[in-house]
């Protein structure tokens, strides 16, 4: 089942897309509203299934009249994996890691499907990175690889848009990965039972203005989803609602000759069969001071 966090401009809600492409939604305050996705994910697969049943009788809506929010608004941890495709390591001049390269994103950097990715006014090196997201639904620590996928409630898409000159200023990538409005997330949280185990064997494609710039299979990951869940849980308790952003394949703009960076007016799409299309325009950062979080 495919769930989304949405707003109609005045109310937030939850939507589902049925197999025939019909979108139905309920909003906070309406009878039968099952709660937001953060709450449902924390409550587990049964709660999501009940929400799906409640939404089956909701009004049909045109998705064009909805604004998509990041599927999860209150993720405790957004754990990103760098260099998780061998070809991406090679194009950047890095050795293929023998242990996952982990860095963090924060909720203030996130935007939803259809919302603008914000190119910082301090940089012209705004790069794209299409990725698959795994969402934890069952908490755990020291999780064996053999049962790791039991802890994943669903999957989504991410564009880990990176401010490369800031990212490369230090060995730690945090600043260049956390400018406001640079992490596109969504549109759907697709339950794990609707996809191949571990999201294996799916084609990931990123397009900039309709031109394919990244294309790979999720089977090309150095560390698959089960390995990432197990390995991360060696160090920390993974909690329901935590997000693992699993890495990007080759084709990023900084490695191209000539280099290819996103600019205002561009459209960047990330697509994985079964997960849909995450599409975002690119806009220039507002020059007003104290603008706060990008909506």
**159: β partners:** 130, 184
The strand pair at 2-7 and 101-105 is best described as unpaired
**Token pair of 262 as six digits:** 């996103």
Lay out the sheet containing 117-119: strands in order across: 117-119, 276-284, 267-272, 203-208, 211-217
Distance of CA 274 to the CA centre of its chain: 14
Query: In a structure prediction context, what are the per-residue pLDDT tens digits for the chain, which is 295 residues long?
Result: 999 999 998 899 999 998 888 999 999 999 999 999 999 999 999 999 999 999 998 989 888 889 999 999 999 999 999 999 988 988 888 888 999 999 999 999 999 999 999 999 999 999 999 999 999 999 999 999 999 999 999 999 999 999 999 999 999 999 999 999 999 999 999 999 999 999 999 999 999 999 999 999 999 999 999 999 999 999 999 999 999 999 999 999 999 999 999 999 999 999 999 999 999 999 999 865 544 444 4
Q: What angle do CA 276, 230, 183 make, to 5 degrees?
A: 40
**Token pair of 10 as six digits:** 């005045």
What are the backbone dihedrals phi and psi of residue 287, each rounded to the nearest 5 degrees, phi first? -90, -5
Residue 238, exposed/middle/buried by CB under 10 A (0-12, 13-18, 19+)? buried
The strand pair at 267-272 and 243-245 is best described as unpaired
**Token pair of 228 as six digits:** 């990432």
């Amino acid at each position: 089942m495919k769930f989304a966090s949405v707003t109609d401009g005045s109310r937030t809600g939850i939507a589902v897309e049925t197999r025939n492409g019909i979108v139905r939604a309920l909003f906070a305050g309406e009878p039968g509203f099952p709660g937001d996705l953060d709450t449902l994910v924390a409550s587990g697969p049964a709660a999501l299934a009940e929400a799906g049943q409640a939404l089956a009788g909701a009004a049909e809506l045109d998705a064009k009249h909805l604004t998509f929010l990041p599927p999860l608004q209150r993720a405790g941890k957004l754990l990103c994996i760098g260099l998780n495709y061998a070809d991406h390591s090679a194009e950047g001049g890095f050795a293929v890691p023998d242990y996952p390269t982990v860095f963090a994103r924060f909720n203030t950097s996130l935007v939803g499907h259809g919302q603008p990715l914000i190119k910082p006014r301090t940089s012209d090196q705004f790069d794209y990175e299409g990725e698959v997201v795994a969402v934890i639904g069952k908490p755990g620590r020291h999780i064996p690889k053999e049962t790791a996928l039991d802890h994943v409630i669903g999957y989504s898409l991410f564009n880990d848009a990176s401010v490369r000159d800031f990212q490369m200023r230090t060995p730690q990538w945090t600043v260049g990965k956390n400018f406001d409005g640079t992490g596109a997330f969504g549109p759907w949280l697709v339950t794990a039972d609707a996809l191949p185990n571990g999201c294996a064997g799916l084609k990931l494609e990123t397009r900039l203005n309709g031109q394919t710039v990244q294309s790979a299979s999720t089977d090309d990951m150095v560390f698959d989803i089960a390995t990432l869940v197990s390995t991360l849980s060696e160090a920390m308790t993974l909690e329901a609602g935590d997000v693992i952003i699993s890495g990007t394949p080759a084709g990023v703009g900084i490695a191209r000759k000539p280099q290819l960076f996103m600019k205002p007016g561009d459209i960047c799409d990330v697509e994985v069969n079964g997960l849909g299309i995450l599409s975002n325009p690119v806009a220039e950062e507002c020059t007003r001071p104290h603008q706060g979080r990008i909506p």
